[in-house]
């Protein structure tokens, strides 16, 4: 597989590139995409880079009916010197395979998938925006394409990579958000698909998100699906708390998505000799810490925002304002350090950056 050559069919016309202040998130796509097919018995074949275009799929394709699909999300950053950086992309390819395994989908050769990704980025390199905080969002995904209405794993798949130039998540600087603690809906349960990046989890989360937005909150805090007591994630991010000097994040329990950002933050905190623990955290405990004046910071973590400080929780009608609704010192330091490593302005002691060119 790894020595398969990727066929390249360049687009004849190039699209107009957007101004950096009109980027937003995930609305604009580059000139090319990568695709490759899978058939049971034959394996992955026909890797190719082609002009960005609609797909033609049978209406009976399994993806449409039973949601057999997985995805990833990572970014490419251009440095001041014009180098293109990826951040721990091998972690995303490993996770894509773990997600696929959960959904009974075929494994990819991770090195080959990364090589395909690099070739695609080089071809569409001019699309990587360079204004501060902007980047190229990368969306690899696999869909089940066999036309069959039986409930079973597909025998045919397609692996695709699309690229989208994205604006700075924090145009007006990093700022805290208000979070509704979700007591009715749940995102995932142990034994379910919460650890996989698969479409159904996100479809299932929309209702709670919509209700929270109507009430003026930007995201929900997800509690565990069984007792609705323990904290799992915030929106589609992992979550951290700083309580009386200690940094705490929910332990991976079989329903939490294991974020690359989460893992990087744990490593950074250890590197700084700060106390960090992964364990169960109940909402009661957070409430008590708040009441005792020990809830110092809270923040979400993920590729899109890197760090999203939480300024306030609302829980059973009560408002818990954290750090006066301002970005905490640790949140800011983590944000600056991680983005600094990604854009090549800070040292990279862990060798996380992978240069594309």
* Residue nearer to ligand PLP on the CB measure, 38 or 71: 71
User: Whose Cβ is closer to ligand PLP: residue 260's or residue 356's?
Assistant: 260
Q: What is the smallest separation between the CB atom of 290 and ligand PLP, expressed in angstroms?
A: 24
Q: How far is the CB of 291 from ligand PLP (least distance, A)?
A: 28
DSSP 21: G
What is the rounded distance in angstroms from the CA atom of residue 352 to the CA atom of residue 340? 12
Could you give the CA distance from residue 159 to residue 54 in angstroms, rounded to a whole number? 14
Q: Which is nearer to ligand PLP, 87 or 112 (CB)?
A: 87
Query: What minimum distance in Å lies between the beta carbon of 53 and ligand PLP?
Result: 26
Burial string for 69-101 (b: 16+ CB within 10 Å, else e) reads: bbbbbbbbbbeeeeebbbbbbebbbebbbebbe
- Of the pair 91, 156, the CB lying nearest ligand PLP is at 91
Task: Give whichever of 166 and 257 is closer to ligand PLP, judged by the CB atom.
Answer: 257
Contacts to ligand PLP by CB under 6 A: 73, 197, 233, 236-238, 257, 259-262, 301-303
| Residue 131 contacts residue 45 (beta carbons within 8 Å) | no
Smallest separation, CB 73 to ligand PLP (Å)? 6
User: What is the CB-side half-sphere exposure of residue 351 using CA atoms within 13 A?
Assistant: 1
Question: Which residues neighbour 130 within 8 Å (Cβ) at sequence distance 6 or greater?
Answer: 20, 78
CB nearer ligand PLP, residue 97 or residue 145: 97
Return the ∠ at Cα 131 (arms to 126 and 132), rounded to 5°.
Answer: 135
* Distance in Å, CB of 88 to ligand PLP, minimum: 9
How far apart are CB 278 and ligand PLP at their closest, in Å? Answer: 14
Rounded Cα–Cα distance for residues 316 and 127 (Å): 46
**Which sign does the torsion angle of CA 281, 284, 288, 291 carry?**
positive
- Minimum CB separation from ligand PLP for residue 82, in Å? 25
Q: Is there a contact between 147 and 36 (Cβ–Cβ < 8 Å)?
A: no
**Minimal CB distance to ligand PLP: which residue?**
259
Which tokens hold the place of 285? 């405990």
Closest CB to ligand PLP among residues 73, 192: 73
């Amino acid at each position: 597989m790894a020595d398969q050559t990727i066929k390249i069919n360049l687009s004849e016309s190039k699209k107009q590139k957007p101004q950096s202040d009109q980027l937003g998130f995930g609305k604009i796509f580059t000139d090319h995409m990568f695709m490759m097919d899978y058939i049971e018995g034959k394996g992955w074949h026909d890797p190719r880079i082609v002009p960005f275009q609609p797909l033609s799929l049978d209406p009976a394709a399994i993806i449409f009916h039973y949601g057999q699909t997985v995805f990833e999300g990572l970014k490419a950053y251009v440095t001041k010197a014009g180098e293109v950086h990826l951040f721990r992309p091998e972690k995303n390819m490993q996770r894509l395979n773990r997600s696929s395994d959960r959904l009974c989908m075929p494994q990819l050769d991770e090195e080959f998938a990364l090589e395909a990704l690099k070739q695609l980025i080089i071809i569409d390199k001019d699309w990587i925006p360079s204004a501060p905080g902007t980047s190229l969002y990368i969306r690899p995904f696999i869909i089940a394409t066999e036309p069959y209405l039986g409930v079973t794993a597909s025998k045919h798949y397609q692996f695709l990579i699309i690229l989208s130039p994205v604006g700075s998540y924090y145009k007006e600087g990093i700022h805290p958000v208000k979070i509704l603690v979700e007591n009715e809906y749940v995102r995932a349960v142990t034994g379910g698909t919460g650890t996989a990046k698969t479409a159904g989890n996100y479809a299932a989360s929309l209702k709670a998100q919509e209700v929270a937005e109507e009430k003026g909150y930007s995201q929900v805090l997800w509690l565990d699906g069984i007792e609705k007591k323990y904290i799992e994630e915030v929106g589609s991010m992992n979550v951290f708390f700083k309580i009386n000097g200690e940094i705490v994040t929910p332990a991976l329990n079989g329903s939490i998505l294991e974020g690359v950002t989460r893992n990087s933050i744990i490593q950074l905190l250890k590197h700084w000799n700060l106390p960090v623990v992964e364990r169960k955290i109940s909402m009661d405990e957070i409430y008590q810490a708040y009441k005792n004046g020990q809830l110092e910071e809270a923040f979400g973590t993920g590729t899109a925002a890197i760090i999203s400080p939480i300024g306030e929780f609302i829980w059973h009608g009560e408002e818990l304002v954290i750090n006066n609704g301002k970005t905490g010192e640790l949140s800011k330091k983590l944000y600056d350090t991680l983005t600094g490593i990604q854009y090549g302005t800070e040292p990279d002691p862990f060798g996380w950056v992978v240069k594309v060119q």
